[in-house]
Amino acid sequence: MLNRIFGLETEYGLLVHQDRPDHSPTWFAHKIRDHVFHVQRQGVLDLHHRGHDEPPGNGGFLTNAGRMYLDMGHLEYASPECHSLTDLVATDRAGDAILQQAIKDLDLSEQVSLIKNNVDHETDATFGSHENYLVSRRFPFTRRGLAPLVTFLVTRQIYTGSGRVGAASPQDAWIQMDRLIVPRASIGSRRGGPFLPFQISQRADHIVNDFFEWVQQNRAIVNTRDEPLADPNQYRRIHLLLGDSNMTEFATALKMGTTGLVLQLIEEGHAPCDLEINDPVEALQEISQDQDRQWVVQLQSGKTISALDIQEQFLEAAMLHCQGQDEETDWVLDQWTAALQDLRGTFEKLVGRVDWASKLWLLESFREAEKLEWTNPMLASLDLEYHNLNPEKGLYYGLLEEGRVPRLTTDKAIDLATVHPPRNTRAFGRGELIRHLLDCGPSVEDYEPKQQERYFPSYVINWSIFQVRGQAPFPMPDPFKTYVQEVRAHLSRV
């Protein structure tokens, strides 16, 4: 799409199918990571400390220029930089495929399942799906400038949500009120209520702020940390962590594509005005939990309006100012239009395209056939199975096999994306580096790093710069540039 770089980060749940397992989910996560890097040799592990919680060997970059690592015990995959939605969908699905293949190769399919969702029904924990969008440094990154984005993000869950059975317990959090930091509970936040059969978003219950800098414990609609991973004089990275992990390719592309267009509207001064929501966090949760799916919110003006009406105002602005700029934009506009039209009818029209609708249809069908109440724990189990990455077990893959799920990519494209980076971003150059290091690196048998590498690693790789021992650092500040010829020339001197 126009002037946009996209990226996705996915944390995976890991389910152990044993009443008294010999090993923890974290033990299996380490084993899967080690298989990908040591045995399959699909990438190179970090030899340096990336942070206090990322010691050497915690993860590394893959040949497709994405990263795989452990985050608080969870396997996490970060896609390479993508300049198109088709590349983004393929590289996102590639991460799923790499991890599922590792489980198969390790003969662990009967013992564990990787779950691409965002909640643990047993512990009430949540794990994320983070979105990244490159914008100009001139982007109005202020509360006033971001107000249209917040309104859009709160309401887009009606087609981006993955759905869940039940609700999370009330979240403890501190929020900023003027110059004070106060407990959210002190301002009358929701403190629990009757049992919820089903809601459309998994992450909504866990978002407690509109803006906040840090990710852990105080999850916000917009993360304000300024970490561009590019030339800070030219670019800013919009980092979002309120969204759900999606199984359908349609939902992934529509989520990222519509958000990219709204960012363009804000950049160009064309975003709809006077749609500021009175309490965005409360509205986010109320929309998700609305059992009647009316999705009405209150604006700061006192007016009430539905999430559908708000989304249609953003769509109209995008049609007016963005239509015709490129083929992918027009696809997003067409599908956005179709989704909103179908949402005014019955949710069954969206089965196969929107995850929450697909899951709800499956659960309702099963519930009616078995005459179950929503409180039956079998429904929570089926909720998880919708997200199972094993094609032989996952309910999403059952819909796919039945031909109910439209595809944006192909199995061949996904296979290629597991080993090859996009060829029109700096991921291409980083992929050349990873292949060079693998060709020159140790075999599986003598993988353990030499003693001196604990203090003077033979390479250091970050998103926007790398260094190979004996050479000067090689910066890659422009994500739109491939750097492939420059990287090859640089490595030829090593």
The mean pLDDT of 425-431, rounded to a whole number, is: 98
Range from 67-76, 137-146, 450-459 carrying the lowest mean pLDDT? 450-459
The mean pLDDT of 309-321, rounded to a whole number, is: 98
CA–CA distance, 296 with 312 (Å, rounded to integer): 14
Range from 123-127, 301-305, 376-380 carrying the lowest mean pLDDT? 123-127
pLDDT of residue 52: 78
The mean of the pLDDT values for the chain is: 92
Whole-model pTM over 0.85? yes
pLDDT of residue 245: 98
Task: Check whether 128 has a pLDDT greater than 90.
Answer: no
- Residues noted as catalytic: 71
Q: Which residue has the higher pLDDT, 214 or 163?
A: 163
Nearest CA among 237, 234, 212 for reference residue 223? 212
The mean pLDDT of 285-311, rounded to a whole number, is: 97
Give 434-488 pLDDT, tens digit per residue. Answer: 999 999 876 544 455 565 566 689 999 999 999 999 999 999 999 999 999 999 9
- The set of residues, in sequence order, having a beta carbon less than 8 Å from that of 282 and lying 6+ positions away, is 189, 190
The mean pLDDT of 404-433, rounded to a whole number, is: 98
Range from 192-206, 228-242, 372-386 carrying the lowest mean pLDDT? 192-206
Pair of tokens at residue 127: 């794990």
How many helices (H) does the chain have, and how many strands (E)? 13, 19
User: Bridge-partner residues for 119, per DSSP?
Assistant: 126
CA angle 190, 213, 8 (to 5 degrees): 95
Range from 31-45, 225-239, 340-354, 451-465 carrying the lowest mean pLDDT? 451-465
- Are 120 and 166 in contact by the 8 Å Cβ rule? The answer is no
pLDDT of residue 51: 81
Round the CA-based radius of gyration of the chain to a whole number and report it.
22
pLDDT of residue 211: 86
pLDDT of residue 255: 98
pLDDT of residue 122: 87
Which residue carries 């199918």 as its tokens?
Answer: 17
CA–CA distance, 263 with 260 (Å, rounded to integer): 5
Band of pLDDT at residue 21, cut at 50, 70 and 90: confident
Q: Which residue has the higher pLDDT, 103 or 179?
A: 103
Parallel/antiparallel/unpaired status of strands 209-212 and 220-223: parallel
Distances (CA, A) of 220 to 159, 223, 347: 20, 6, 28
pLDDT of residue 486: 98
pLDDT of residue 455: 67
- Are 272 and 148 in contact by the 8 Å Cβ rule? The answer is yes
Range from 49-53, 69-73, 225-229, 289-293 carrying the lowest mean pLDDT? 49-53
- The set of residues, in sequence order, having a beta carbon less than 8 Å from that of 417 and lying 6+ positions away, is 64, 87, 90, 91, 93, 94
Burial letters 343-372, b for 16+ CB under 10 A, else e: beeebebbbbbbbbbbbbbbbbeebeeeee
Q: Which residue has the higher pLDDT, 460 or 184?
A: 460
